[in-house]
Amino acid sequence: MDMFIDTIMYNLESINWDGPAIFVVLILAILIIMRKWSMLLLIVLTIVLGWGAQDLIITNLDSDQELISVPLVIYSVGGGTILLLALYSFFKSSL
C-alpha cells in the first residue's frame, strides 16, 4: 500500500501546472462547486488507477510485441463512463 501511495505522491509532485493539468484542476473545481460528487470521484478514481497502472502493458504471447497499455484501457473506460454520466445528468436536469 505504501508503494501505491508513494507513486501517487510522486505523480502529484511532478505535475507541470503550466500545462494541461490546470484544465483538469479547473474541471474538478467546477464539479466541486456544482456538487457533482459522483462525477468528481469517478474522475479522480480514473486518474489514480491510470497512474497506478502506468507500467503495465498487455503483450502478445507469441511475438512479445506491445498490443495495448493498461492505462489507455483505464482512461478509455473511465472517460466513456464519465461522458455517459455527464450526458445522463444533463438530460435529467433538462427534462
Q: Which residues of 9-26 are buried (b: 16+ CB within 10 A; e: fewer)?
A: eeeeeeeeeeeeeeeeee
- The grid coordinates listed for 38 are 459522483
Secondary structure (3-state) at 59:
strand
Q: How many domains does the chain have?
A: 1
Q: What pTM does this model have?
A: 0.59
Helices (H), 1-95: 2-13, 21-33, 37-52, 70-94
pLDDT in tens, the chain (95 residues): 788 788 878 877 877 777 777 787 888 888 889 888 888 888 888 888 887 777 666 665 666 666 677 778 888 888 888 888 888 888 888 77
Task: Residue 10: give the domain boundaries.
Answer: 2-94
Residues near 67 by beta carbon (within 8 Å), at least 6 away in sequence: 57, 58, 59, 60
